């Protein structure tokens, strides 16, 4: 990310108005991440004037850690996924509290948090949309799996998804655009383990090119994708949707820190006020406003956008903005193997995976389930820090573990609970005087039992695949890779924020399109579903604009 700082004297109490007259657009989009790249692409192609405000900036090639010999060190500093540790110019303070604090994963940049993801590319299961009806879990979505099928298909082609067709647990899926990424000998070991246990497995679908595609080169197996992909084989919003959106006429304004979404006396959104790259206060007016700030940034902006009409925050008559925070029940189980695991060869995001334990089993003492993704091992520095303390025996321990470990990521379903939440932090402010956020998260009893079983099953798999020992990262801090649920979708305006079309119940021309709109979180990486929802929302926005 670009290393810029706020101009001197740019801090604001929010009292002053814009420095000059407003800009005007048909649609204002706030946030340039995975969801809104899809929204902007879809609407700009229809000839609408779409303006996007992004708090961060483009990520230049020389900032990608994997372009440098010290990529692991860079990955722990300016590329660190936690804003509290990274403290970049585009970040705002995030404090994590609760019995199980979340280690929040969040980037402010063109592409959003997808710039550092591992490219897992899952569809939800049909049962994820009706977990309340099926299992008494959480709430039902107001839409069904079938509503997203055509948008999943568009997104798989746009991103260039690699995988295997015919997955028996994924209904309504046509041919996958590209063949699977090679799984290597460690993938073969994982398959042996699954087969010994009689558990279903399938090659991992990934937003990563196994072949040259749409002007982007195939993966060359440099490994550890979350440290950046120098070649462009990793599908990012910045190398898929954004080039086509900009070519279609969309406008993208970076280093634009939005202070509030503005409304008129009738309660309609009129646009936004933001600080530009020089710290000047600007205004945009638009017929439709779309927010995509992720599960933390979106409730932050809604809660900051108070007015006489919306004294508790914009679109918050239900009191649900910021509530029902779901980061998933996540941990890693790491097996040690006598033979090398080729941890540095191939995609980090998985070799094979299993939804064998995804659905509710009446024999369990919990409902819903989890996914296991059998992956390669950790990078050398991360392995050393976890297994080889400084002092006597350091080198021996490091030699024992490096390139002899492989990882199973366990991701479990996480029920929406009001006490798990995101709130404004009026004490810790950003460089412009705007509030930070505080997250509160505590694992439910169901999540604790589900997570414990996920660790047991992953441990069993590791030994079945040939591991001679196993360690786990536990749940002492929750991996905050997936920020979901804090402006959730529903039919009832009293207990949800947006409707089935991602439109705010309280504000007819305001849309929230990102992971915050999830009613429940499923048990997989949500990026693909976030983008499919965004493409669907763009169609609904177009229908409303076309009808005016």
| Confidence bin at 16 (pLDDT 50/70/90) | low
- Mean pLDDT of the region 72-77: 91
CA distance 111 to 58: 8
Pairing of strands 352-354, 94-97: unpaired
pLDDT in tens, 276-285: 999 999 999 9
More confident residue, 84 or 266: 266
Here the tokens at position 108 are: 């402010």
Whether residue 13 is predicted with pLDDT greater than 60 in this model: the reply is: no
The pLDDT score that the predictor gives to residue 85 is: 84
SS3 155: helix
Whether residue 4 is predicted with pLDDT greater than 70 in this model: the reply is: no
**Angle at CA of residue 18, ends 15 and 20, nearest 5°:** 155
Which residue, among 365, 358, 467, has the nearest Cα to 407 in the 3D structure? 467
Q: How many residues does the chain have?
A: 548
- Specify which residues 329 forms β-bridges with: 412
CA distance 335 to 325: 31
- Mean pLDDT of the region 405-427: 97
- Mean pLDDT of the region 232-252: 94
User: Which percentage of the chain shows pLDDT scores above 90?
Assistant: 78
| Confidence bin at 525 (pLDDT 50/70/90) | very high
- CA–CA distances in Å: residue 300 to residues 8, 308, 405: 24, 18, 40
Tokens 């900009």 label which residue?
246
Which residue, among 203, 217, 259, has the nearest Cα to 16 in the 3D structure? 259
The pLDDT score that the predictor gives to residue 17 is: 66
SS3 386: helix
- Mean pLDDT of the region 239-252: 95
Q: How is 94-114 classified by DSSP, letter by letter?
A: EEEESSS-EEE----BTTGGG
pLDDT in tens, 454-513: 999 999 999 999 999 999 999 988 888 999 999 999 999 999 999 999 999 999 999 999
Q: Other CB atoms closer than 10 Å to residue 236's CB: what's the count? A: 25
Enumerate residues 6+ apart whose C-beta is below 8 A from 178. Answer: 160, 161, 162, 163, 209, 210, 211, 213
More confident residue, 175 or 274: 274
SS3 282: strand
pTM: 0.94
Whether residue 12 is predicted with pLDDT greater than 60 in this model: the reply is: no
- Specify which residues 425 forms β-bridges with: 436
- Specify which residues 411 forms β-bridges with: 330, 371
Here the tokens at position 414 are: 């996480």
**Which of 170-184, 254-268, 530-544 is the least confident region?**
170-184
Enumerate residues 6+ apart whose C-beta is below 8 A from 470. Answer: 333, 334, 335, 336, 459, 462, 463
Averaged pLDDT score across all residues of the chain: 92
- CA–CA distances in Å: residue 97 to residues 113, 172, 477: 21, 41, 10
319: left (phi over 0), alpha (psi -120 to 50) or beta: left
CA distance 28 to 25: 6
């Amino acid at each position: 990310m670009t290393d810029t700082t706020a101009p001197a004297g740019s801090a604001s109490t929010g009292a002053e108005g814009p420095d000059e007259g407003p800009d005007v657009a048909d649609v204002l989009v706030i946030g340039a991440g995975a969801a809104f790249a899809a929204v902007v692409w879809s609407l700009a192609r229809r000839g609408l004037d779409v303006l996007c405000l992004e708090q961060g900036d483009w990520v230049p090639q020389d900032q990608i850690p994997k372009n440098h010999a010290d990529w692991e060190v860079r990955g722990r500093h300016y590329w660190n996924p936690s804003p509290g540790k990274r403290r970049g110019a585009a970040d705002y303070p995030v404090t994590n509290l609760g019995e199980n604090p979340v280690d929040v994963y969040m980037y402010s940049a063109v592409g959003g948090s997808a710039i550092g993801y591992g490219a897992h590319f899952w569809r939800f299961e049909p049962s994820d949309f009706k977990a309340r009806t099926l299992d008494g879990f959480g709430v039902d979505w107001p839409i069904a799996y079938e509503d997203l099928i055509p948008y999943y298909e568009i997104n798989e082609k746009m991103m260039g998804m690699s995988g295997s067709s015919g997955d028996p647990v994924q209904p309504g899926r046509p041919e996958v655009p590209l063949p699977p990424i090679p799984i290597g000998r460690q993938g073969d070991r994982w398959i042996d383990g699954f087969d010994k246990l009689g558990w279903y497995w399938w090659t991992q679908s990934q937003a990563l090119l196994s072949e040259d595609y749409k002007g982007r080169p195939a993966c060359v197996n440099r490994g550890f994708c979350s440290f950046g992909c120098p070649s462009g084989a990793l599908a990012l919003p910045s190398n898929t949707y954004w080039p086509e959106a900009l070519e279609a006429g969309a406008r993208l304004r970076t280093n634009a820190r939005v202070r509030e979404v503005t409304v008129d006396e009738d309660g309609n959104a009129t646009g936004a006020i933001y600080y530009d790259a020089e710290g000047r206060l600007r205004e945009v007016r638009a017929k439709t406003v779309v927010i995509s700030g992720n599960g933390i940034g979106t409730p932050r902006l809604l809660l900051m956008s108070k007015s006489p009409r919306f004294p508790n925050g914009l679109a918050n008559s239900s009191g649900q903005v910021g509530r029902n925070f779901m980061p998933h029940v996540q941990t890693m189980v790491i097996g040690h193997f006598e033979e090398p695991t080729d941890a540095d060869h191939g995609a980090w995001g998985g070799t094979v995976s299993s939804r064998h334990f995804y659905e509710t089993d009446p024999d369990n003492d919990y409902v819903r389930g989890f996914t296991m993704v059998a992956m390669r091992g950790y990078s050398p520095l991360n392995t050393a820090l976890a297994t080889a303390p400084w002092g006597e025996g350091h080198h021996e321990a490091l030699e024992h573990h490096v390139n002899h470990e492989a990882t199973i990521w366990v991701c479990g379903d996480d029920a929406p609970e009001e006490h798990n939440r995101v709130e404004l932090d009026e004490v810790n402010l950003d460089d412009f005087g705007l509030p930070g956020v505080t997250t509160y998260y505590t694992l439910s009893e169901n999540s604790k039992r589900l997570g414990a079983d996920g660790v047991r099953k992953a441990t069993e798999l590791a030994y079945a695949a040939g591991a001679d020992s196993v360690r786990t990262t536990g749940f002492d801090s929750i991996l905050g890779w997936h920020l979901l649920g804090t402006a959730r979708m529903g039919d009832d305006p009293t207990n949800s924020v947006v409707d089935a079309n991602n439109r705010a119940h309280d504000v007819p021309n305001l849309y929230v399109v990102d992971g915050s709109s999830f009613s429940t979180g499923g048990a997989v990486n949500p990026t693909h579903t976030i983008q499919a929802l965004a493409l669907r929302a763009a169609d609904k926005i177009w229908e409303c604009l076309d009808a005016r």
